[in-house]
Structure 1
Amino acid sequence: MDNTNQKKALINSEIALFLRGLIIGKVLTLIVIGGLLWWLLKPNLLSRSSVDSSNQSSNAISSKTPPSTGGSTFQTVADIPNASFNYGGSTAWASIRQLVDSQIQSDRPELQLRYVDPVNGSPGSSSGIRMLLDGKLDFAQSSRPLTDEEQAIAKERGFTLEERPVGKDGIAVVVNPSLKVSGLTVDQLQQIYLGKITNWNQIGGPNLLITPLSQRPEDADTVIFSSNSELKGQALGSNVQYVYSTTEAVRQLSKTPGGVYYASARSVVFQCSVKALPLGRTSGQLILPYRVPMVSPEQCPRQRNQINTQAIKDGSYPIIANLSVIIKQNKGREQQIGDAYAELLSTDQGQKAIQQAGFVGVR
């Protein structure tokens, strides 16, 4: 009995030793295999770690490095006065005030610009220049040239006025969409507003009385006689109907079959309820104020006509207005802000923003 028990104990001991050896062998095998795999993959792991580290470093650098803009910007203009200033003038500048001036004040918060409407009369180039002469504005925005009278008033008050061009705009002529007329020459347009051409059949259109609409000369935002010195200062025809603004003129044209109006191309070419006419120095050189193909009133406002900026840029369009900053040359704060504002708009950033506002830059 004792011998039997001893044999069983011996067998159990051998089995335990065998199992222990088997387990140890498997563990050693796994260690060897793992070590071999680590040795084989080590170069890839190190390379990957290096790339990840390089990418993280690169991302950190790029996040701290501002994008390069190139060219002159609002930030590069020196001697910007740190104060609040009043300005105003041409309604043609509305999109510049909305787009460009807001960018200026974002980039140069030390400069605060406050647009001021005239107390009497309609806003425009003329009222803005009057307010500048009267000391109610620090500088003005104009879409027409200064007059001899305005320069004379400035001289009487001990200073001069400078007009600094920063952009260009075309003067577009618009009519009721139903009017069938191929276009106008500059001379025909002028004769219409002098009351010498009164029916559309005189210039190849239907037998329909012409109803010219215009802002009053003293409030005019744009002019059509600046290229003809003989016509400057002449009274408009008695049939001219005066309007307060371009918005009012467009509204009237939409219900006046024989109506006609002229204004900044930026103000009227996009409108759905009127039609812009080709304009030329001669009847054989009519230039479209919009890009072809023309968008019909039925397609508007889903699509809108776009300004023929190329014709304005190359000078082929017959009536072009300079967008100018009117600066009071008095060696005071008004001259300082006028010079600074004109310089801001003349930077590469300013010229690009003026183009985005729908105009043509001066360079």
Structure 2
Amino acid sequence: MARKSEQNDLGLIGSFTESGKLFMARKAPNVWQKLWKRITDVWGQFIGSIDALIGNRFVEFLDKVVPTPLRFLIPFLKDDLGIQPPSISSFKGIVVPEKNETKEVLKEIIVEERIGTIWQIKPQFLRYQCQESNPFRCEFPLETVADNPNNKYCKKCNFPATLPPEVKVRGRRGVYQVDSYIGIRGTGRLYNATNLSDGESFLFKEYVIPKKYFNDQETRESKQNFESSSEIKLLDGRVQDSRLVTPIEAIADSREERCYVILPHTENTMTLADYLATHGAMNSWQVKSFLNQVLQTLESLHSQKYRLRSGVVAAGLPHGNLTFYSIAIRENFQGFTVYLNDLALWEDRFYPPDSQTHTYSISRDLEDLGYIAFYLLHGGVIDLDNRSYINPSDVDHWVAKVNLGLKKFIQNLLGFGETRYASAEIARRALLRLPIEREALIEFAEQQEEAPADKKNKWAWLTKKVIAIFVGVLLLLGLLLLLYWWFTQPPKPANLNLPCCISQISDIPAGNFTYAANKNGTWTYTLLQKNLIAKGRTLEDKLQESQPKLQLSYQPIDDDQLVSDKLRSSKVDFAISSVITNSGGDFITQDIAYDGLTVFVAFSYAQRNNSLPTALQGRLTFEQLRQIYTGEIINWRQLGGPNLPVKLYMPLDKESIQIFEKRVLKTATAIAAFQNLAQDGNNSITKLSTFDSLRQLIQDFEDRNVGSISFGSISQVFGQCSVYPLTLADDRQSFVSPLVMQTGKAVTPDIDLCNEKGNYVQNYSAFINKSYPLSYPISVVYLRDNRRTPIAERFVSIMRTEEAQGLLKQTGLIPLKYPIKRLNAEK
């Protein structure tokens, strides 16, 4: 290649780069290219803002909560906390200075040497008589192989030639075949290669160890050191950051003066130098995005612990080779993604032994990055007008339009700013705090510096980022409220489509059948109590009249366990219950109605102003009920009521007691205390039928000045205006009343239940939706046995007609749906 005249004038500039010429500052792309680049980078700005917000807050949070002895476990806090992990001071052949030496070493490097380093224009292997003065970057080794693939050395100077196509190299993970030559990158040659075992494509990089520079012992040591340090993995076994490209495998050729690394393919990437040649200088936002990605990768590299192939554990590992060719960039919709290649750990193993020792450190990485960022703003390193290097220490060499904050940040990286960053993590946090808006106009640095403080806009804090975060928080709160409302809504009943009439149910099995229920339970009252549906008539009479083929014999049983036993032994065909558990899956359960427990106190019209409903505001919580029925509360004053002793009653109905224990008392301790108070002879809780307790409560209040309380089935209590059914709330749930007015308004203690009869009803929706905390189903229970006669199924079909549901509603039970069509027609 012919040298340019500019290179001859500038000495070091005359050395060759990868492409054969040095990039110079040039004009930026046209307006349409800029517009397109801005459009494709919008997402990158958003990601950067969120990353900055979360990252800073997260670090502050960890700083507060992590105990001091354990903070060494958090790599990205090590610089802030002053805790350094163990590190290796050097690798064989590559010197890594300690921190106290770093600043002095860097001061000795002039800008021309630094430019030569980041542009990789240092000549190599000058002992070969190469007409280009650098055989490693000469084209003749490639032409030699093109003429004859068997030639291993350059036909001009005898330098090791490039690898011919289809040459095969065996590694630990397979055999790799070289497909095509790509070019030079850093200190090695790049090829496309394929793993013949699975056909996967890789990048194949070749390093040479020329015999004119390395004797046999030095060659063996170089190969050994190369293999032992060219494969690095995180010590904790996590997958390596994909933006730090590290060798998949390192191979030292035992027969040739060459070494190889197998690298993953990064599709559609180009070197940073090629990117500048195509697109020109970057603007402030692009440079910030570039710095953010590189610092993020360096943060991981500098702070994590790595295990080398030799087993050596390395911490505080510098990159050591940040150049315009070791950094790759890939354009995407968000802007671009930056990759770091060619760590000095293996890249610089092949400099001649007599060459100057290279010095690497974390500080050197940050300073190199500062130089690269500075030249990205220019699009090159040479000022063509003045035919000289662009020097960041010269204030006149800075781009006219640059964000002031970014300018100060780069100066800090370079080491002559207001501060110096101790780590990549600290530098990145400082970078993310820079408010550089992509679409915003970039102000002149001079204008920012001269802006008077008294003219600051008081709304300056209201940035797009703040607004976006505020809107995001509002949307999140709205979503949480919506989810809370959704999950706290009671389940909606199925949209039942019931047949009209009992007489429409056919296929009634012939014969006499028996069914059972608890003697003192809800069904016994519902089925046998006269005058509930017609004067002198019971529900049993009405069912027999409506369906004469139904021959059922009802058998009341005192113990629920006996009901289960009779079902299992087939002594009864089915049962009606609310508490039989389907242990073992022996039973099938189908609901025919709903009922519920109500807790009630006396409602005296004569003393209503001093009555318990008024004092209690008509409500109790389950916690208060537990305290009352376990003996913790013995006077209503303890709940803010009148000075009346508490008298406890409970029904004879064992089903109601079991439901009360399970739903209200809940814990074994509370249930044991309740059962102890209810023992015969204790007289702490009096057992009475529901109707007897209704009379007893009003007498206790009016005649004995005692505040009594009891509970029982709503189907039996409804319509009895001498007592007041209290509104209840399960633990941490809202209050639900068992009664409501016909208008939907809740029943309160100021309503006279006796005078308002007919104007209030049971809270049907609360019972059907099961939002009333003591609601429960009335169910038909039968044995899971296909051999039995299906009388239970036919009985369920009968009870699920509009006619039967209306009859059940008249008895005081809650129908499966409301309103009932047939009942409405009768009204």
Which TM-score tier does this pair reach, normalised by the shorter chain?
0.5 to 0.7
| Among 657, 667, 677, the residue aligned to 1:239 | 677
**How many percent identity over aligned positions?**
26
Counterpart residue number, 2:763? 308
Q: Does 1:328 align with 2:783?
A: yes
Counterpart residue number, 2:646? 210
- Matched-pair contact (CA < 8 Å) for 1:195–1:238: no
Look up the equivalent residue of 1:358 and give its one-letter code. Answer: G
| Among 106, 110, 114, the residue aligned to 2:553 | 114
| Among 63, 67, 92, the residue aligned to 2:522 | 92
- Matched-pair contact (CA < 8 Å) for 2:594–2:814: yes
Counterpart residue number, 1:194? 630
Counterpart residue number, 1:224? 660
Q: Does 1:146 align with 2:580?
A: yes
- Secondary structure of the equivalent of 2:659? coil
Look up the equivalent residue of 2:630 and give its one-letter code. Answer: L
Residues 187 and 130 from structure 1, CA distance in 2 versus in 1: closer, same or farther, beyond 3 angstroms?
Answer: farther
| Among 711, 715, 731, the residue aligned to 1:266 | 715
| Among 595, 598, 607, the residue aligned to 1:169 | 595
The Cα of 1:268 is off from its aligned counterpart by 0.7
**Residue deviations 1:276-324 (CA, integer Å, cap 9, x gap):** 1111236883322222356536638x76853222332344322211111
- Matched-pair contact (CA < 8 Å) for 1:89–1:126: no
**How far apart in 1 are the matches of 2:635 and 2:572?**
42
**Residue deviations 1:201-221 (CA, integer Å, cap 9, x gap):** 333322333222224685646
| Among 71, 74, 94, the residue aligned to 2:499 | 71
- Secondary structure of the equivalent of 2:512? strand
Counterpart residue number, 1:319? 774
Residues 130 and 213 from structure 1, CA distance in 2 versus in 1: closer, same or farther, beyond 3 angstroms?
Answer: farther
Residues 304 and 343 from structure 1, CA distance in 2 versus in 1: closer, same or farther, beyond 3 angstroms?
Answer: same
**How far apart in 1 are the matches of 2:637 and 2:569?**
46
Look up the equivalent residue of 2:591 and give its one-letter code. Answer: P
The Cα of 1:345 is off from its aligned counterpart by 1.4
**How far apart in 2 are the matches of 1:211 and 1:130?**
36
Unmatched tracts of structure 1, length 5 or more = 1-69
**How far apart in 1 are the matches of 2:639 and 2:667?**
20
Greater shift after overlay, 347-356 or 317-326? Answer: 347-356
Look up the equivalent residue of 2:699 and give its one-letter code. Answer: K
The Cα of 1:109 is off from its aligned counterpart by 0.7
Q: Does 1:347 align with 2:801?
A: yes
Residues 244 and 163 from structure 1, CA distance in 2 versus in 1: closer, same or farther, beyond 3 angstroms?
Answer: farther
Matches within 5 A, 1:43-58: none
Counterpart residue number, 1:299? 755
Look up the equivalent residue of 1:83 and give its one-letter code. Answer: G
**How far apart in 1 are the matches of 2:579 and 2:552?**
23
The Cα of 1:265 is off from its aligned counterpart by 1.0
**How far apart in 2 are the matches of 1:290 and 1:356?**
16
- Matched-pair contact (CA < 8 Å) for 2:560–2:580: no
Q: Does 1:251 align with 2:695?
A: yes
**Residue deviations 1:5-37 (CA, integer Å, cap 9, x gap):** xxxxxxxxxxxxxxxxxxxxxxxxxxxxxxxxx
**How far apart in 1 are the matches of 2:658 and 2:587?**
18
Greater shift after overlay, 107-116 or 221-230? Answer: 221-230
Look up the equivalent residue of 2:791 and give its one-letter code. Answer: I
Counterpart residue number, 2:544? 105
**What is the TM-score when the length of structure 2 is the normalising length?**
0.30
**How far apart in 2 are the matches of 1:203 and 1:229?**
18
**Residue deviations 1:94-128 (CA, integer Å, cap 9, x gap):** 3356655444322321112233333xx4xx86775
- Matched-pair contact (CA < 8 Å) for 2:652–2:689: no
The Cα of 1:160 is off from its aligned counterpart by 1.9
- Secondary structure of the equivalent of 1:226? helix
**Residue deviations 1:128-185 (CA, integer Å, cap 9, x gap):** 556545755432222x3324xxx55xx6xxx923321121123211112232322111
- Matched-pair contact (CA < 8 Å) for 1:126–1:221: no
Residues 308 and 105 from structure 1, CA distance in 2 versus in 1: closer, same or farther, beyond 3 angstroms?
Answer: same
- Matched-pair contact (CA < 8 Å) for 2:656–2:713: no
Give the aligned length. Answer: 279
Residues 316 and 354 from structure 1, CA distance in 2 versus in 1: closer, same or farther, beyond 3 angstroms?
Answer: same
**How far apart in 2 are the matches of 1:254 and 1:290?**
20
- Matched-pair contact (CA < 8 Å) for 1:222–1:264: no
The Cα of 1:274 is off from its aligned counterpart by 1.7
- Secondary structure of the equivalent of 2:648? strand
Look up the equivalent residue of 1:194 and give its one-letter code. Answer: T
- After superposition, the CA RMSD in angstroms is 3.6
- Matched-pair contact (CA < 8 Å) for 2:697–2:709: yes
**How far apart in 2 are the matches of 1:217 and 1:267?**
12
**How far apart in 2 are the matches of 1:176 and 1:126?**
34
Look up the equivalent residue of 1:80 and give its one-letter code. Answer: I
**How far apart in 2 are the matches of 1:103 and 1:298?**
29
Residues 216 and 74 from structure 1, CA distance in 2 versus in 1: closer, same or farther, beyond 3 angstroms?
Answer: closer
- Matched-pair contact (CA < 8 Å) for 2:806–2:815: yes
| Among 263, 272, 277, the residue aligned to 2:726 | 277
The Cα of 1:192 is off from its aligned counterpart by 2.6
